[in-house]
A and B are shown apart, each in its own frame.
Chain A
Amino acid sequence: MRSLRTGAVELVAPALLVVATGLFGLVVSQTTEIYVVTALISVSTVVAIYVFVGNSGVLSFGHISFFAVGVWAAGVLSVPVAEKPATMPYLFHFLGSRTVGNVPSLLIAAAVGGVFALVVGLPLMRLSGLAAGIATFAVLGITNNVLRYYEKIGPGLNTFSSVPETTGLLQATVGALAVIVAAFAYQRSRLGRQLRATREDPAAARAVGVSIYRQRLTSFALSGFLAGLAGGLYIHFIPINVDAVYLDLTFITLAMLVIGGTSSLWGAVVGALFVSGLDSLLAEMEGGLTVLGHTIDLPEGSRIVVVSSVMALVLILRPSGLTGGREFSLPSFGRRTAEAK
């Protein structure tokens, strides 16, 4: 049994790390601050994915679709009405005729992500193993295909422009903290524990009356909600197009989760910050690069060469991630020994 104290540590450690990252952003230059904000948004994204993948043990390639619909929802709704015809001339009337503020657009992004995940999860959560992985991949493919060509709901192939850039250090930090608190509350709740039981031993969990389907569905929807929020945060930070929310982002976010350690909240946060830090460092080294950490539609590609090599290396040397998939705990800190299988 874990005591209340270790429980608190498990929440406080990742939260402190995020706050420290945010504070670090305050003292550095404008360019570095952009990296810090990117890293904080990555934390939100990776923790959102972790809520499902980490707790259920089922791999999902589909979470960037929930991120993407969050980007679309927040982006389309918060562009000023007068600016919309420039990049999005074919919008549905109800989308084209109104503009919402920063906070409502984030909440709508999260809600759209959550509802989409729920709808997708209703049939898909009956699957497991490889079938589930490929089916979530198929969802990603469909989402990307529709967002790319269906111009009544967004800019299609155009890049979003004129979205108010409200995500700065403060909003990115608060967003990451909110996602972490939600993930923590979920994994300590009755629902989260039931889901984790199905991860450890499906047969035993079922034997004590846990419905695998229902638990996975709940977690999938919550996970989609948080991913949608992360998408909203992202589009309020930087203008992107549909290519930025497809395979590359799927890869880099999964890489962050795996490098950190899939099965713990601490791992998700550490992985996101570690890879973002590495990525920013490489970007600085490449020189002249001023924008975001993880879309690679840049002519320079050496960053992704290093990041994917590091990822392969971590997998080979420490398959359970940098944190060993464990939560942060005080006694073992500094002298962690054998890792969990």
Chain B
Amino acid sequence: MRAVFEEILERVKYYRELGLNPLALATGCAVKVDLLRVVYPAIGILRRELEGSGLSIAPREDALVLRGEAEEVHRRVYQLGSDSGVSPSDIASLSRGREVYAVTVVQVFQRYADSPEGFLEKIAPIYRALAKSGASITIGKGHSILTPFPEDEFTLFDFIPHSGSGEGFTAVNNDTIHIIDPSQEPGDERQVSGAISNSFNDIFVLGVHKRLRMLPVLNAPTEDLLDKLWENARRFASRYGIEVVEAEQPKRGRLLMGATAIGYSDRAPPVFEDKVAAGSKLVITRPMGELAPINLYLSAIIDESLVKDLEGYGIPFEEVEKAKDRAVELISKPNIEAASVIYKYLPETPEEFRVDEYIAVTTDVTGPGIFVVKELAERTGTRIRLHSVPLLFPEISKVATKLYVIPNSTSGTNGPFIAIVPDTIVDDFIRDLKSKGLVPAVIGEVVERGVKPEVVAPAGLREYVADQRVLSEFTLA
């Protein structure tokens, strides 16, 4: 075991030689700016201020959904806290009279992410300048992440001019990650594969799995490493039939991996919140909780006394290492097979939706973990009863929670999907998922609709979630 520790600490040294501190690179749980306390209030203020201008900010969605097939994408990278890089005439020329949709990434120094006002100080000048372009702009999806390094700040916009007509729909999402597994080399293929898979997850969950394109977002402190990341991204794209669209890069900061992911579907997206029927089942495509073993493993490397704690709970360190490797493997594999199964159970047009034949709503289990079920209850105005919370590594998750290594061990990255499925097709849906090598399970059901949203969950959830803000969202029974 000593050799493992030395190897990892050696790798930490290597990261430091690259100007990186792998322990300051969040593996998932802390990378996003706090949505409830910072991002939403800031966006609310901005939305009110820009009312009446050509720029609007759409309500929070996991992915931007556009009617028809969108072809053009134009990327612009701006410095935060200033409008000097934004050219209104540039935006007007992209638009040429069409509506312009955008997905954005904001990487903000964490000290400005402690309040809506601090966050606004960074993003508002850019939004105000865009509003002055005269173009009609809809910000469809924003992704805000923290950096411990002030010089790493930037914001990136992928603008999509679109006439808003045509058959089917285009789904667009952006996501980025600093690192998947800091105990491995940043050039390890699984790091980029995981980051890009995670970017596609929010469009795969809509059943989108055709005509896939991506505009990578890649950054590294050395040219060699950057080349390696690009090589890995292209290999990933080739393996899954994804077109790579090269676009401007932030070219500042340390390590960053991800992409703007785009796909097309000729079926309606599963956003039939008002059609969810009581008695429908909640089906998960595989167990959740990828982040717990990764965080526990890294924590034990830093604090060897945790290894003794683990042994006290009957978990050898080697078991955590195996679980960590399995979790990284899962993260680095795109959920494209699950997307193709969801697609099969969607209607060709929204008008054709029938409650007993089609999947009504889907979601993916990522950072908030099991909390996404509460979000489902809120979206659909239903009472949901959860029978079980299937975890990839239940014992490891339990210990990681007990040791406060992770406040919510149901959290994941590139996690599984949960679908609300009518009882009549549950068996077929599960059989199809199994035929793709997945491990689906029925985890609960919709008890009632048209009521105050509520999720009744097993009391045992306390063993996996220490975060009281998350736990308080459930009725534990």
Q: Do A and B come from one complex?
A: no
- B residues contacting A by CB (< 8 A) are none
